Chain A
Amino acid sequence: MKFNNLNITLGGVAIIDSFTAEIPNGGITALTGASGSGKTTLLRAVCGLCPFTGEIIYPGGKKQSRRPLVACAFQEPRLLPWYTVRKNLSLVNAAEKDIGDLLSRLGLYDDADKLPEELSGGMRTRVSLARALLYAAGNTDALVILDEPTTGLDASAAEKACVLIRELCGGHTVITATHSERDISILGAGRIEIKPCVKP
Chain B
Amino acid sequence: MKKNNNSAQKIKNTASKFALNINKMPAPFKKLLRGVFAALFWLAVWQLIASAVGKELLIASPKAVFARLGALCVTGGYWSAVFSSLVRVFGGYLAGILFGLVLAALSAASALLESLVTPLITAIKATPVASFIIIALVWFETPRIPTFTAALMVTPVIYGSALTAIRSVDKNLLEMAQVFAFSRVKTIRRVILPSMTPYIRSAAVTSLGLSWKAGIAAEVLCTPKGSVGRYLYESKIYLETPDLFAWTLTIIGASLLLEYIIRALLGGRGRGRK
Contact = CB atoms under 8 A, between A and B. Distances in A.
Contacts of B172: 74, 76, 78
Nearest to A139: B181
B190 interface: yes
A47 B177 CA distance: 12
Contact of B178 (A48, A92, A115): A48
7 closest Cβ contacts across the A-B interface?
A78-B176, A82-B194, A82-B271, A72-B179, A78-B172, A47-B179, A92-B180
A80 B178 contact: no
B195 to A, nearest CB: 8
A84 interface: yes
Contacts of A131: 180
A136 to B, nearest CB: 11
> Secondary structure of the B side of the interface?
helix
A1 to B, nearest CB: 17
B273 A91 contact: no
Looking at chain A's contact residues, is the secondary structure mostly helix, strand, loop, or mixed? loop
B141 interface: no
Given A76-B172, A91-B190, A81 B271 contact: yes
Interface in A81-110: 81-84, 87, 91-92
B134 interface: no
A193 interface: no
Size category of the B interface is 10 to 19
B179 A80 contact: no
Given A70-B179, A92-B180, A80 B191 contact: yes
Contacts of A49: 175, 178-179
Given A69-B181, A92-B180, A135-B180, A80 B190 contact: yes
A87 B274 CA distance: 7
A22 interface: no
A72 B197 CA distance: 27
B176 A84 contact: no
A74 B178 contact: no
Contacts of A117: 271
A67 B182 CA distance: 15
Contacts of A47: 175, 179
Given A83-B274, A87-B274, A78 B178 contact: no
